[in-house]
Chains A and B, each alone.
Chain A
Amino acid sequence: MLLYLAVALLLPVTMSAVVRDGALTALLLSEAATTLAGLLMTGTFRLLASKSRPHRGGTAKRHNALWITATVWTLVPLFGALPFLLSGTLASPVDALFESVSGFTTTGASLIVQPQTIAPSLLLWRSMTQWIGGLGLVLFVIAILRRIGVASLELYEAEFSGTLGRKLHPHIAVSVSRMWRIYLLLTLLLAAALLLCGEGPLRSLCIALSTVSTGGFMPTEGGLTGLRPATSTVLTVMMFLSGVNIALLFHLVCGRPRPLLRSREFHLYIAIYLVATAMVALSLTAAGNSLRHSLSYSLFHIASTISTCGFYLPSPSHWSLWASGVTFLLLFLGPMAGSTGGGIKLKRIMILGHSVRNYFTHILHPSATLPLSVDGDRVEPDYVSKVYAFVFLYIMLTVAGAFILTLCGLDLQNAFAMAAANISNLGASPLLTNLGASIDYPALPLVGKCTLMILMTAGRLEIFALLAIFFPAYWKK
């Protein structure tokens, strides 16, 4: 894994060498460290894998799998933080780690106050972490898990809600490569489109990397300033698309639009997008902005929020409370399952909704048996209870995170907004706070930053996998 990272680092290194922006030494050092560590790790890993394989049964593999997931998610951001630290962009190790975690989890909460002033190669690296994190880490992990023979599909089925292998291809490796292709295609398309719209090459690339991964690191201070109307339209569309299940996008690209068009989750996604946009646009108009402005603003804003991308435009001159409320709720929903976005995911919401409806029917007709199915897939009761547990946990973590943030001195409103924005991997959003300004991450105390890092990782990873490690039963033989 780290080797892959090292390869990925090569790109900014070359760029730095070409542009001579002063970050070359730092990048080279990180490159060397990562490569070295990667080689070492791979060696040990092979050794371990070859030793352990004959003896262990399924459960032990699962233990390993979880262990690996946790290790990957600690090590990768650690090494990813090196360029920021060594180049002196962020002075404290924790800050550098925060930036890196925020990148790899595709959150996009940034501590760099003025991104336009840092070295372009670092800017690129920052966006690349998101791109790798967006699809990469999960799939990399799957690839690794396959090597030691773990049923990775099971492990990740809650994250990708069963759409990953089953729909695309029975063989997981094929699915993975297909998903990669789509991912790459989207990114290139977007970058090209942005170039065509007249943005600079670096800026196009950075924005493209951040958009498709629903990350949301922005190359400029205070939101995406100075966008051309065409660019913002392109971005809106792409943010919306990046919230769609990648498997369904693959079918679409292959000329089979039916799975996408018939997906109920997709219908819900569109419905929520339209309703939320209408609500925000109306409330912004009512607050005194021009209809045209508020409509274009909310189209962009809601696409960014629902896909948990986290780009934002400069705030409208009049701010509306109602718009903030809608934004806050959207954070919990998130986009479709199997996309790169965060949040609870619409599929889970649908399962919840069906379950509640079944419950009411059951009260009135106690003897009725009501199977639960979403998008034609029968959902087992056991899975339903898992979904409930997930959502419950998600909310609990948000509340706990917000509580710790209030301890750091934030007021309740900001604490909840910040916790929700980070667990859903949204990052920054101007409409979450009273002032209409983005949340002030650099001012947070150390504890607050650490809390947010945990929240980001919990939101990005499957929460269960993360938590299992903290249960004593996990360590028992």
Chain B
Amino acid sequence: MIVRIIALPVAVEGLLMLLCAWVGMAMGDATAHHIVLPGAVTTVGGTLCYLASRLRRHSAAGRMAYLGVTLLWIVLASVGTIPLLASGSFTSFTDAFFESMAGFTTAGASLFGQVEQLPACIVLWRSLSQWIGGFGIVLLVLAVVPTLGIGSYSLYTAEISSADNTAKLDTSISHTIRHTLTVYVSLTVIFIALLVTSGLTPWQAVNLTFTHISSGGFALFNDGIASLSHTQQLILLFAMMLSGINFAFLYLLFSLKFQSLRQKLDQLSFYLLLTAAATAVSMTALHYRMHYGWSDALRLGALQSASAITTTGTMAADTRLWWPPLTLLFLLLALCGGMAGSTSGGIKAMRVLILLRNVKKSVLGHLHPHAVDPVRLNGKPLADSLVTNVMVIFFVYLFTLIGASAALLLTGMAPIEAVGDAVACLSGYGPGLATSGGFGSYAHLPSAAKLICSLLMLLGRLECIPALILLTPAFWKR
């Protein structure tokens, strides 16, 4: 069962390595040929395991799925270290694992300060890992998380299945996957085309699209996207904003089903509202505190707000030099995250919205203790248990954050950096505070801290619960 979950993605990963090697060789990259052999071995190994696992029929045991999905990400990231190590970019496994995890979880926290020196095959490998990771998240949300009753899936289907309530779960899942894939691939193609027309080379366009549409945020240049033209930055801004929108939404949007869209605008409007508010605040601050002109302030404010709320983490300026309250604002935005069912990380705007509505309900419930007014979303009442689940996730998230910050403190980091990096990694944002923020990197971290951060990225990506449940004794009991 678990082998089956993992083997196929690993085989695909091997194929992608081969692709990177081929592209690298075509671009005259000296290290690319080192990846060919590992790539081939991975592909063959993955395929064999997959075939072997098909020989024995297993019933899909629900709780094994948690183990499977957690292992999947760990294995993907571990195998993903092969190109990084083989090409000589890293000598230590911990470092490579961190970078690889940052790719597959689309966190985008990087150990490379100087990305322009990297060989072409590695650049493509990093971008590809994020692109695959971005899509994998959606698959994860659809295929594995359903049993958690939290949210992601039920909230996701609450939106998509109203078109076809009678469909069985599995057919609706395969439909959704197909729709999602269509949206994801067509968005990628569109944005590559747009970026090429705006004057970038195809190589740059592909890499930038891969890292932005997946809300990953690995940088292609040493100075983020600061040196790109304003048009190109605008295109990337759109790419980021789209990456924070639920795929079901995008699908409805593309298939021009505005009718069904209109009934589900709560989360979207909250997401857009937050982004707009953050943009306004940062614009004002940039103008008055940092003395940018209004147009520059608007551009940078919008880019950084979008980059934060979608947890992309791409940088249009070195935010380390910005006014400190702004960096705090961005981290908070990243904690909130984009819409549920998008590639972005964080707690998800949907949950934050439910939390806020519950607060409102509790406050007003104080006035009218006997009134029955459930928390509503899109006008529909939500079950109490669902609301509680959302809150549990929020607090588990928070506890994880506190625990991780404490652990990072123990490795000898400064408190602000420890908390900042923990937030940045758990939410999948990427750049933390101080040294690891802005155009900086995580290279200065002690290896123990790198390991902790890798785990945090994993936890954040899996929305904590599927991974944490493995730690409960009850999980292992028969």
Contact = CB atoms under 8 A, between A and B. Distances in A.
Same complex: yes
Contact of B469 (A321, A364, A471): A364
Contact of B365 (A155, A364, A386, A474): A386
B324 A382 contact: no
A385 B392 contact: no
Interface string B452-478: 000000000000010011001011000
Contact of A324 (B148, B361, B367, B415): B415
Contacts of B475: 364
Contacts of A474: 364, 367
Interface in B365-402: 365-369, 384-385, 387-389, 391-392, 394-396, 398-399, 402
Contact of B406 (A155, A325, A390, A406): A325
B324 A366 contact: no
B23 interface: no
A464 B395 contact: no
A385 to B, nearest CB: 6
A62 B324 contact: no
Contacts of A364: 63, 469, 472, 474-475
Contacts, number: 121
Interface in A389-433: 389-393, 395, 399, 402-403, 406-407, 411-413
B328 interface: yes
Contacts of B63: 364
Given A324-B415, A363-B465, A385 B364 contact: no
A363 B325 contact: no
A407 B387 CA distance: 34
Interface stretch (A71-79, A108-116, A197-205, A354-362): A354-362
A188 to B, nearest CB: 36
A317 B279 CA distance: 45
A100 B12 CA distance: 67
Contacts of B402: 329
A384 interface: yes
B446 interface: no
Nearest to A467: B363
Given A154-B369, A363-B148, A471 B363 contact: yes
Nearest to A332: B402
The size bracket of the interface on B is: 35 or more
A66 interface: yes
Nearest to B414: A321
Contacts of B360: 471
Given A363-B148, A381-B388, A406 B328 contact: yes
Interface in A408-461: 411-413
A382 B384 contact: yes
Nearest to A402: B328
Contact of A352 (B325, B368, B395): B395
A359 B367 contact: no
Q: Which of A385, A399, A464 has the most CB of B within 10 A?
A: A385
A59 interface: yes
B86 to A, nearest CB: 39
B398 A395 contact: yes
Contacts of A406: 324-325, 328
A154 to B, nearest CB: 6
A322 interface: yes
A59 B415 contact: no
Contact of B324 (A352, A361, A393, A412): A412
A468 to B, nearest CB: 5
Contacts of A140: none
A385 B366 contact: no
A388 interface: yes
- 9 smallest CB-CB distances across A and B, nearest first, come from A389-B362, A388-B391, A406-B325, A359-B392, A389-B359, A386-B362, A464-B366, A467-B363, A464-B363
19 contacts: A62-B368, A63-B367, A321-B409, A321-B415, A322-B410, A324-B415, A325-B415, A329-B406, A363-B465, A364-B63, A385-B384, A388-B391, A392-B358, A399-B332, A406-B325, A413-B416, A464-B363, A468-B367, A471-B364
Interface of B: 63, 147-149, 324-325, 328-329, 332, 355, 358-369, 384-385, 387-389, 391-392, 394-396, 398-399, 402, 405-406, 409-410, 415-416, 433, 465, 468-469, 472, 474-475
Given A363-B149, A389-B362, A471-B364, 10 more contacts: A154-B369, A352-B395, A355-B388, A385-B391, A386-B362, A389-B361, A392-B394, A412-B324, A412-B433, A468-B363
